[in-house]
């Protein structure tokens, strides 16, 4: 008997191709005798089914495995909602790049079938917690599997902020912002900003300045247990924004304090047994073989 009996499904509902793959997956799982639980928004995009429906926040309580049909953005959203339940997550790629969702649509039955009989790799990925305080009062928070980003928001202006790592002052920086990225996020926005690619197994965090005014300012890699504090400078004209995985957003003001640290809960990411991080880099990033 498979260790995964109750399987949750989350689909990228605005994508017709994702809905096609979702229906194909539903038919396969039902035919194989698994209990399928649809996330409520996903269920609304699929008609004529008799499957159980649940809010995304409760899937972690009800399921042994959650399968996400969509792009990396869909999986990031699922990770933020499900990490605290320790339920493993598997991705089927119906997006563009697909670093996290690594099963292709034509492999659904074969690769998902292999995972369900125990032929898979499991990786533990950590997330980041972010909070913003103003005059000692909390005004916003969020979590991220990829990155927390400080940026100017709607204005194209340099912003000024102080950075502290583990209570030690690092620098006062004027730049377009700062990316604080996990190894998972090192192949996303941080890579575009000139940051290093980090292997997913590393317990490390990279700080990538965005177009710093001081050209000698470079990415810094620190240990994963580090705690970060950003203090928004009083000379800013723009109101810097802080976002988590490009989704949860808080608008800051001068003097606000942003704190970031590793989340206590980790995500278990499932891959097919033949998954290879370096092959993924070769194929997704166009490396010469």
Q: Is 72 a catalytic residue?
A: yes
- Tokens 């723009």 sit on residue: 238
The rounded distance, in Å, linking the Cα atoms of 59 and 63 is 6
Answer for the pair 40, 54: CB distance below 8 angstroms, yes or no: yes
Angle at 281 between CA 11 and CA 266, to 5 degrees: 55
Could you report how far apart the first and last alpha carbons of the chain are, in Å?
Answer: 40
The rounded distance, in Å, linking the Cα atoms of 200 and 183 is 5
Answer for the pair 148, 233: CB distance below 8 angstroms, yes or no: no
The stretches of 83-220 forming alpha helices (DSSP H) are 108-116, 189-192
CB count in 10 Å sphere of residue 19 = 18
Which of 41, 64, 72, 129 is an active site residue?
A: 72
Angle at 98 between CA 95 and CA 99, to 5 degrees: 160
Q: Is 289 helix (H, G, I), strand (E, B) or coil?
A: coil
Q: For 94-158, where are the E strands, in sequence order?
A: 120-134, 137-144, 147-151
The rounded distance, in Å, linking the Cα atoms of 104 and 106 is 6
Strand partners, 89: 66, 269
Answer for the pair 287, 187: CB distance below 8 angstroms, yes or no: no
Q: Is 18 helix (H, G, I), strand (E, B) or coil?
A: helix
Give the residue numbers marked as catalytic: 72
């Amino acid at each position: 008997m498979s260790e995964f009996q109750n399987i949750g499904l989350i689909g990228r509902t605005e994508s017709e191709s994702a809905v096609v793959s979702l229906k194909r997956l539903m038919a396969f799982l039902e035919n194989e005798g698994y209990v399928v639980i649809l996330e409520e928004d996903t269920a609304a995009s699929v008609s004529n089914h008799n499957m159980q429906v649940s809010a995304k926040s409760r899937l972690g309580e009800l399921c042994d495995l959650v399968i996400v049909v969509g792009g990396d953005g869909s999986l990031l959203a699922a990770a933020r909602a499900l990490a605290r339940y320790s339920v493993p997550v598997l991705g089927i790629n119906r997006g563009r790049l697909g670093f996290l969702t690594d099963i292709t649509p034509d492999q659904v039955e074969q690769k998902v079938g292999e995972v369900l009989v125990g032929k898979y790799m499991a990786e533990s990925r950590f997330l980041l917690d972010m909070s913003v305080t103003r005059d000692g009062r909390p005004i916003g928070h969020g979590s991220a599997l990829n990155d927390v980003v400080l940026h100017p928001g709607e204005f194209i202006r340099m912003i000024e902020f102080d950075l502290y790592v583990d209570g030690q002052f690092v620098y006062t920086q004027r730049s377009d912002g700062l990316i604080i990225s996990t190894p998972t996020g090192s192949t996303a926005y941080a890579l575009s900003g000139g940051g290093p690619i980090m292997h997913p197994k590393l317990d490390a965090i990279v700080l990538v300045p965005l177009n710093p005014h001081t050209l000698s300012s470079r990415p810094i890699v620190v240990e994963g247990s580090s705690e970060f504090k950003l203090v928004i400078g009083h000379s800013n004209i723009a109101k810097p924004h802080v976002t988590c995985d490009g989704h949860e957003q808080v608008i800051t003001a001068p003097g606000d304090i942003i704190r970031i640290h590793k989340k206590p809960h980790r995500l278990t990411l499932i891959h097919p047994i033949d998954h290879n991080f370096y092959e993924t880099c070769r194929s997704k990033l166009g490396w010469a073989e």
